[in-house]
Amino acid sequence: METTLRGVGVSHGVAIGEVRHMGTAVLEPPAKQIPVEEAEREQGRARQAVEAVAADLIARGNLAGGEAQHVLEAQAMMAQDPELIADVERRIAVGSTAERGVYDAFAAYRALLANAGEYLAGRVADLDDVRNRIVARLLGVPMPGVPDSDQPYVLIARDLAPADTALLDPTLVLGFVTEEGGPTSHSAILARALGVPAVVALPGAGEIAEGTVVAVDGSTGEIFVEPSQEKRAEMESASAARKAALSAVTGPGATSDGHKVPLLANVGGPGDVPAAVEAGAEGVGLFRTEFLFLDDSKQAPSEEKQTAAYRAVLEAFPEGRVVVRVLDAGADKPLDFLTPADEPNPALGVRGLRSLLDHPDVLRTQLTALARAAEGLPVYLEVMAPMVADRADAKAFADACREAGLQAKFGAMVEIPSAALRARSILQEVEFLSLGTNDLAQYTFAADRQVGAVSRLQDPWQPALLDLVALSADAARAEGKSCGVCGEAASDPLLACVLTGLGVTSLSMGAASIPYVRATLAKHTLAQCERAASAARAADSAEEARLAAQAVLSGE
């Protein structure tokens, strides 16, 4: 009998197939005491397992490439955290086995983060995955991971760690469903990059029996368990029509009446560029430079290394627009040489621009490298600061750019509600705004962007969030400047129309989403987008906003 479940759709497309469940390692090793004379040997076993898992994560990253590589390298750093390793060895010294010492140390770290309310608590899936891999290696049991199958299937898991998501084979994994996670989690972002339909934050998904046929709609978030033949045919027909529509629309982003909306790509480095170019990106709307710094948490990359990486991206878009975000460190991206180790809540502490202003030499080196990378290229370089709170922040960043001799436009990211509320003031110091809707939602609703339990408040359709977008866009229009969106909200084709109607001047997203957004914009006029935006803002919930906008754009 067909039943319908609803989660949060995070990656477009339709998948129909049998369910396979994610395999997991033994989560809790036995608690037994070892003689004191065995402690040194057990400590050695623990260190070897940690290094082996870190090496495996790096190897997986090298195979995956692109943004996935940077995520997995960050996860390898998590495995090698000196404080965690020291805690493991301390526990072994007082009688724990290597595997139990690892398990208990990670459990304590996990609880500490959760109780402190830190932003890093949102990386629980990553932390648990590292722990499971180390414990599995010590116990000699299979690593957690995707099931072995030579037939295509729909994968169901409690959550997917980046190490698993990055190496999904799209020819076998038709789509995936998770019980946890949110629309801006690592797994969701990587799913969009892979082009695999995905639904997250679906409680009870793990109860769907192995082998059950399900139909997954990554756009609506609907899961149809044991779908009828009619439902399958309906979804397959809609999917085919969608693909045909995508291939029929090419060229720059624009509404049906010719209002231009440049469609840009979010990239983490040179490895993400080929997919962006293939998707027809008109440039880069968010170059996340922090991944270059995560290669070594103890020191910043040299000016020469930065220059080479930046130039590789700039050269890919001759006469295009490339928006670079300077280093966004802190919170879930700690760097030993830059961010404080003892902050009670790093998400609300010294992160982003605040870290850079405390370390002007790091900012100066990055800006100088960007200036050198752009020399002689016809690219339109724009550089923006993360976590700008007010005009003083914007001025400090603009002054630093000028002092470094950077020939580019300077901008500010709107990720803090104060920046949206005082956008016109900030625009007295910079030339453009870029809305980071992921963090803006997190700070507006006090809802960690990685926690599935509060995914309702992370939904970019929330009317309060749309109000802040409108405030920012109105301020930019009044000042004759631009206001783009580089958060994940831009990857939702329907929401892209609403954002256009709110006055947003460009949209940046993962490369896989660009064709969907291009095709949807091309079906509607600017006036329709504006009416849809008004209808969405008049609603009282995210779901009502989505339905109201959909009704306007479908002519109901």
Active site residues: 186, 486
Q: How far is CA 299 from the centre of its chain?
A: 24
**Pair type for strands 321-325 and 380-385:** parallel
In whole angstroms, give the CA distance from residue 435 to residue 530.
Answer: 19
Q: Which residue from 92, 88, 90, 89 is spatially nearest to 109, judged by alpha carbons?
A: 88
- Identity of the residue numbered 42: E
Handedness of CA 196, 201, 202, 204 (dihedral sign): positive
CB 100 within 8 A of CB 317: no
CB 213 within 8 A of CB 16: yes
Q: For residue 470, what are the β-bridge partners? A: none
Grouping H, G, I as helix, E, B as strand and the rest as coil, residue 222 is strand
CB 521 within 8 A of CB 249: no
List the strands of the sheet with 198-200, edge to edge: 3-6, 222-225, 213-217, 14-21, 153-157, 173-178, 198-200, 8-11
Residue 69 vs residues 11, 52, 311: alpha-carbon distances, Å? 20, 17, 19
CB 510 within 8 A of CB 278: no
CB atoms within 10 A of CB 499: 31
In whole angstroms, give the CA distance from residue 369 to residue 306.
Answer: 6
59: Cβ contacts below 8 Å, ≥ 6 apart: none
In whole angstroms, give the CA distance from residue 22 to residue 394.
Answer: 46
Q: Which residue from 478, 483, 525 is spatially nearest to 503, judged by alpha carbons?
A: 483
CB 440 within 8 A of CB 486: no
CB 517 within 8 A of CB 263: yes
- Our CA angle for 398, 403, 407, nearest 5°, is 70
Q: Which residue from 101, 87, 54, 88 is spatially nearest to 73, judged by alpha carbons?
A: 54
DSSP label of 450 = T
Q: How far is CA 269 from the centre of its chain?
A: 14
